Amino acid sequence: MKKDPRYKSGLISSLNPFGYNVERWSYALHRVTGVVLIGYLMAHIFETFELSMGSTAWTNTMNALHSLGPLELVGLWIVAGSALYHGANGIRLILNEMFGKLMGSPILPVYPYSPTSLGRNQRMVVWTITGVVLVLWVWAGLYLLAGLGVV
Amino acid sequence: MDKVTLEVVRSGGRRIRYDLRYRKGMTVLDALIEIREKLDSSLGYRHSCRMGICGSCGMTIEGVPRLACQTQISILKTDVIRVEPLHSMGVMRDLVVDIAPFMAMHKSVKPYIMRRNTDERDHSDREYRVLSEEVRRFLQFDYCIMCGLCYSACPTVALDPAYIGPQAIAQSYRYMADPRDEGWDQRIDLLDTSHGVWRCHVAGACSFVCPKDVDPAKAIQMARKEILKKRLLRRKARVGAQPVPLLSSGVVKQGVKPPPFDFGKGSVSRK
Amino acid sequence: MKESWSMILTYISAMVLIFVLTFHFLLQGPLAGKSFEDTLAFGYATGNLVSFDFVFGLLLFAAVIHGLNGVRVIALEWFHPKEKAWLLNLVVVMLMAFFLALGSYTLVTVG
Amino acid sequence: MVEAIDHDVIIVGSGLAGLRAAAQVLSLSSGSGPSLAVISKLALMRSHSVGAEGGTAAVLYPEEGDSLELHAWDTIKGSDFLADQDSVWKFVSLCPEEMRQLERWGMPWSRREDGRIAQRPFGGHSYDRATFAQDKVGFFEMRTLYDKLQEYDNWSRYDETFVTSIVVEDGTFKGCTAIELKTGRFVFFRAKAAVIATGGAGQLWKFTATSTSVTGDGIGLAYRAGLPIEDMEFMQFHPTGLIPRGILITEGARGEGGYLVNSKGERFMERYAPSKMELAPRDVVSRSIMKEIGEGRGFKDEDSGLSFVHLDLRHLGREKIDAKLPFIKELSMKFTGVDPVEEPIPIKPTAHYTMGGIRVDGNGRVLDERSQAVRGLWAAGEAACVSIHGANRLGANSTAECLVYGRIVGEDIVRYLASDNAHPLGNDSSLVASEEDRVFRGLFRNETSSEDVYVLKAKLKEIMDKSVYVFRDEEGLTDAVREVKELKEKYRGVRVTDGSKVFNYNLLDTLEVGVMLELAEVVAQGALNRRESRGGHARLDYPQRDDTNWLKHTLARRTEDGPSFSFAPVCITMWKPVERKY
């Protein structure tokens, strides 16, 4: 992949949301969490494949995982957080992309400008999602790390 | 604050600082002009209208693409202002970037009124009947001054130079939503490509930096909806606005009359 | 084959995933009174696969299609292949086939 | 060796006139037409035409009381009877077609209830015939024309290529020399036909509504090629220019009902134009404002030291301002921190439109000193002086002129190329070599520059603002002519201080200032000669209009030690000059 001659372009610059609106942050997060999830999905399919090899193979896999110590649970917690954020933000993205909601309809711009696509509807959904995900993530943390939160 | 410093990224990445006296209401473009006229005549940057309507002076100021002519130094709340060329574009000299790819993307979406009867469009003397609310459906996206700020703010453009960019898609939707245009099907096929509208992931950075509130993010989602209408709902293109006959020849109202001619009417050739 | 079809597929699989993953995360663990270690028990895991084999089939297909489509999007943007686009699509489809096969094998043998 | 680039047609300048001419040539010869090139000093969508705000005049609804005669009469009366009336007639009869042609190309005109194109009142027009699109008509017209050009592939665009001179030998246009900023190459464009559509010379003044690129280069091209330039002393000062920079506040603001108010709170226009008030032609309103300021009834801006009066839009209400004048609100809030809904806007007359320009005939063909058309050379828009504006232009007639004459020139070129006497491409002439020498060796000589070109530019602008402004007098003008001659002398000592080959804007500025100094001399000297007050040229010492010996066009031709003046008759075919009252 030859170096991109354009000024400050490429992966890092595309994922760098500094100075921009919150939706650009959620774009970067969505992409990072997506990559985490696809990585975990592949590992998870291999892991569950061990189930079909009988209980001894399964217990060996579990022991191999446990040998990672706290890293395993923290790692799973990160994956849980990624899944929560990716899913919740995904709902917002589908609302935007597939159903064209949250963007507002065309207006005649009046100065001082505030684009409706980043307006109240959009921001309300962005912040509710972030709140919900954080709450659920804490619950996932308690459940995974401290064994609490079992109903 | 009566002194301000501009740290400008010059060709080759050199960062050079210029100290200037601050005047009330001074914009970044005023500062750049003062630098070239008084301190360093080799500073390369583009500018023309100085009132935010021509789109020449786009650059990255304090990390965010802005128009230099309308960015007041006072709102930047810093004494040292970092000025860099626009991101995701080739630097040709100092702050002058190559906008040819950006202009080519604009041309690639065929941004002009398409009609089946092109002769009527180019050589008749009628006007198409368009109501005000029909104009409102696309007028916001016609405010685009092609400054390239959205193009340089978009994360997908930063990653994928083949992506046609928020500006081009917004212009394509502007013509899709224009009642006079009959190129709906063609425009959908132009956008529905692997580097077209589907590469937008609603980061909203384009609408965030747009100096004219063209809101390209909104236009892109509406363009997407048009594509889904066609693919999923099997919607068909509607017929374009029809030419309206000139007003009836009967005189409705007597207007002001100019004084009578002093000579015979008609053009006496001269010079 | 227009790009929109692959995106429509991604959207639909995403909507499916929302429901199926809620089930997979909550109903099998915290809401079912099971701590995390309990869910790892061989018997419980295989039991779930057996009794909810259809749900897990759906989860597998939706997850693999959605996930690998996402990979395709990222790869498409990062490498922006001109002539070799078909190669990228082929690699992604083959990956999908592989993981679907592996997952299905597990479901079939355990179920 | 200078590299030659061949095209059939080259269009210098990409504003409304240039793009309209290109669109006409391309749409007439769709497909296999002539090889067309559009050359612009800026990128293609950046020309000053995007700054036009008010409207475009056209007789769209003769049935509802408007008429071509009325539009012609308004234009001629507005021009203080210096306009050539046969060209005015041709101009007004083509305007309506242009509005509808642009409408069919996608122009977002504002609409009436019945879906037809809407119009609004405008200064000097006795019928509401200013077709408008919000308050950015020039911008939308440029967008429509630029987008229209995207349909064709058989034309090439030369963005940021600065034309330094045109080569005219034995009455025929051969080509033009240019510097391509991107590479620094010095090229010679050879062509059978060329259009100069580079706009006016508003940047001679410091307080001006024009972009920084409006330096009159096109007019300078013709002037330095020995062709006559006409009526240069008539400069329009638009009454409402925003303090402190002079950014244009459209006449549409007054068209929608805005008041001009002095420091005593009076609507002073009733003293100067009782019937039309704020909607009198621009020269009348500008003079009234300067009188108010002169008699101490203006305001003073401490930072910039400029005096001004108020344009009050508060009574229009927020809805009407947001609906009809959104750009005005944006400009006044962004560039002077005033929200027109809450406070009045500080304004002062600003240098806006150059009535003068390259002398052309009814078809836009450039005329030489013997009034013979130069073969293969046209001029259109503000750079040309067909003289449909005479001594003062009516609002909304400029964008109309650019469109109408862009189309006329486009059609004329296609006819000219189809006829057999289209002459073959000129061979390299000695003028090209001398031009290259003038530009590169002349300005790049390495000893240190004894003069700073930006100091000269600032001084020139001071002089023009001081003595060649709305009101002029003998003493001020003689000073101006002398000082400009001194600046021209100092200009010989100027050297380009930026050695770079690529994007050398210092070289561009230096060449522009050279042209500006020559044009300023013509403007100041022409104003000094014309001992009368007519339209935009108001003399304190000769306040009356003197038709007996000054009803004529001024022609200026370049000689070694300055412009030599001659005069040309005005074509009066419809109305004899009468006293002008509003």
pLDDT tens by residue, B48-74: 999 999 999 999 999 999 999 999 999
Question: With an 8 Å Cβ cutoff, is C8 touching chain B?
Answer: yes
- Asked if A9's CB is within 8 angstroms of B158's CB, the reply is yes
User: Does residue B268 register a pLDDT over 50?
Assistant: no
* Confidence class for position B256, pLDDT limits 50, 70, 90: confident
The secondary structure of chain A in percent helix, strand, coil, rounded to multiples of 5, reads 70, 0, 30
Give the Cα separation of D433 and A119 in Å (integer): 60
Q: D507: buried, middle or exposed (CB in 10 Å: 19+, 13-18, 0-12)? A: buried
- The model's pLDDT over D324-334, given as tens digits with 9 standing for 90+, comes to 899 999 999 99
Report helix, strand or coil for D78: helix
Question: Which residue in chain D is spatially nearest to A112 when comparing CA positions?
Answer: D330
Query: Mean pLDDT throughout A74-102?
Result: 94
Question: With an 8 Å Cβ cutoff, is C78 touching chain B?
Answer: yes
- Asked if C73's CB is within 8 angstroms of B199's CB, the reply is yes
> How far is the alpha carbon of A107 from chain B, nearest alpha carbon, in Å?
6
- Asked if A112's CB is within 8 angstroms of D326's CB, the reply is no
Give the Cα separation of D332 and D231 in Å (integer): 33
Rounded to a whole number, what is the distance in angstroms from the first to the last CA of chain C?
36
- Asked if B84's CB is within 8 angstroms of A19's CB, the reply is no
Question: With an 8 Å Cβ cutoff, is A106 touching chain D?
Answer: no
Partners of D353 in beta bridges: D236
Average pLDDT, chain D: 92
User: Does residue B250 register a pLDDT over 70?
Assistant: no
Residues of chain C with confidence (pLDDT) below 70: 111
Predicted local distance difference test score (pLDDT) of residue A1 = 59
Predicted local distance difference test score (pLDDT) of residue B109 = 95
> How far is the alpha carbon of D326 from chain B, nearest alpha carbon, in Å?
11
Question: With an 8 Å Cβ cutoff, is A107 touching chain B?
Answer: yes
Query: Running DSSP on this structure, what letter comes out for residue B8?
Result: E
Contacts of D471-479 with C-beta under 8 Å, sequence gap 24+, read: D471/D287, D471/D290, D471/D294, D471/D538, D471/D539, D471/D540, D472/D527, D472/D537, D472/D538, D472/D539, D472/D540, D473/D539, D473/D540, D473/D541, D474/D528, D474/D539, D474/D541, D477/D524, D477/D527, D477/D528, D478/D528
Predicted local distance difference test score (pLDDT) of residue B265 = 55
Show which subunits contact D, needing at least 3 CB pairs below 8 angstroms.
A, B
Which residues of D are identified as catalytic?
A: 238, 254
> How far is the alpha carbon of A51 from chain C, nearest alpha carbon, in Å?
7
Query: Mean pLDDT throughout A112-128?
Result: 94
> Does B touch D (3+ CB pairs < 8 Å)?
yes
Apex CA B17: angle with CA B11 and CA B23, to 5°? Answer: 120
Residues of chain D with confidence (pLDDT) below 70: 1, 30-31, 422, 426-428, 445-449
Torsion-angle region of A86 (φ positive above 0: left; ψ -120 to 50: alpha; else: beta): alpha
Q: Say what percent of chain D tops pLDDT 90.
A: 76
Q: Tell whether the torsion through CA atoms of D381, D382, D387 and D393 is positive or negative.
A: positive
D312, D344 contact by CB (below 8 A)? yes
Predicted local distance difference test score (pLDDT) of residue B228 = 93
Predicted local distance difference test score (pLDDT) of residue D497 = 87
* Confidence class for position B260, pLDDT limits 50, 70, 90: confident
User: Does residue A32 register a pLDDT over 50?
Assistant: yes
Please tell me the pTM assigned to this model: 0.94
Residues of B in contact with A96 (CB under 8 A): 202, 221
Average pLDDT, chain A: 91
> Does A touch B (3+ CB pairs < 8 Å)?
yes
Question: With an 8 Å Cβ cutoff, is A107 touching chain D?
Answer: no
Which chain D residues touch A if contact means CB-CB below 8 Å?
134, 322-323, 326, 329-330, 333-334
Predicted local distance difference test score (pLDDT) of residue D376 = 93
Tokens representing residue D123 in the block: 């200064």
Residues of B in contact with A118 (CB under 8 A): 204, 207-208, 217
Per-window interface: A 120-139 vs B, CB < 8 A: 122
- The model's pLDDT over B160-186, given as tens digits with 9 standing for 90+, comes to 999 999 999 999 999 999 999 999 999
Residues of D in contact with A114 (CB under 8 A): none
Which residue in A94, A139, A147 is closest to C36 by CB distance? Answer: A147
> How far is the alpha carbon of B151 from chain C, nearest alpha carbon, in Å?
15
Q: A107: buried, middle or exposed (CB in 10 Å: 19+, 13-18, 0-12)? A: middle
Give the Cα separation of A49 and D565 in Å (integer): 97
Residues of B in contact with A11 (CB under 8 A): 159
- Asked if C71's CB is within 8 angstroms of A90's CB, the reply is no
Predicted local distance difference test score (pLDDT) of residue C41 = 85
Question: With an 8 Å Cβ cutoff, is C2 touching chain B?
Answer: yes
Contacts of C86 (CB under 8 A, 6+ apart): none
Residues of B in contact with C80 (CB under 8 A): 160-163, 195
User: Does residue B267 register a pLDDT over 50?
Assistant: no
- The model's pLDDT over B205-236, given as tens digits with 9 standing for 90+, comes to 999 999 999 999 999 999 999 999 999 998 88
* Confidence class for position B270, pLDDT limits 50, 70, 90: very low
Residues of A in contact with D329 (CB under 8 A): 110-111
Note the ipTM here.
Answer: 0.93
Which residue in C25, C34, C45 is closest to A150 by CB distance? Answer: C34
Which residue in B53, B122, B269 is closest to D362 by CB distance? Answer: B269
Residues of A in contact with D322 (CB under 8 A): 108, 110
Give the Cα separation of D130 and D97 in Å (integer): 14
User: Does residue B264 register a pLDDT over 70?
Assistant: no
Most B CBs within 10 A among A1, A2, A4, A8, hence the mutation to make, goes to: A8
User: Does residue B113 register a pLDDT over 90?
Assistant: yes
Torsion of CA D75, D78, D84, D89, to 10 degrees: 10
Which residue in A31, A59, A150 is closest to C30 by CB distance? Answer: A150
Predicted local distance difference test score (pLDDT) of residue A30 = 96
Predicted local distance difference test score (pLDDT) of residue D135 = 87
- Asked if A108's CB is within 8 angstroms of D323's CB, the reply is yes
Which of D110, D98, D100 has its CA nearest to residue D137? D110
Cβ density class D278-305: b for 16+ within 10 Å, e for less: bbbbbbbbbbbbbbbbeeebbbeeeebe
Question: With an 8 Å Cβ cutoff, is A15 touching chain C?
Answer: no
Most B CBs within 10 A among A117, A118, A122, A125, hence the mutation to make, goes to: A117
Contacts of D529 (CB under 8 A, 6+ apart): D233, D554, D565
Residues of A in contact with D326 (CB under 8 A): 108-111
> Does D touch C (3+ CB pairs < 8 Å)?
no
Which residue in B49, B113, B244 is closest to D115 by CB distance? Answer: B244
- Asked if B88's CB is within 8 angstroms of A117's CB, the reply is no
> How far is the alpha carbon of B61 from chain A, nearest alpha carbon, in Å?
11
Residues of B in contact with D244 (CB under 8 A): 25
User: Does residue B1 register a pLDDT over 80?
Assistant: no
Query: Mean pLDDT throughout B80-108?
Result: 95
Across the A/C interface, how many CB contacts are shorter than 8 Å? 82
Predicted local distance difference test score (pLDDT) of residue D467 = 94
* Confidence class for position B269, pLDDT limits 50, 70, 90: very low
> How far is the alpha carbon of A112 from chain D, nearest alpha carbon, in Å?
7
User: Does residue B248 register a pLDDT over 70?
Assistant: no
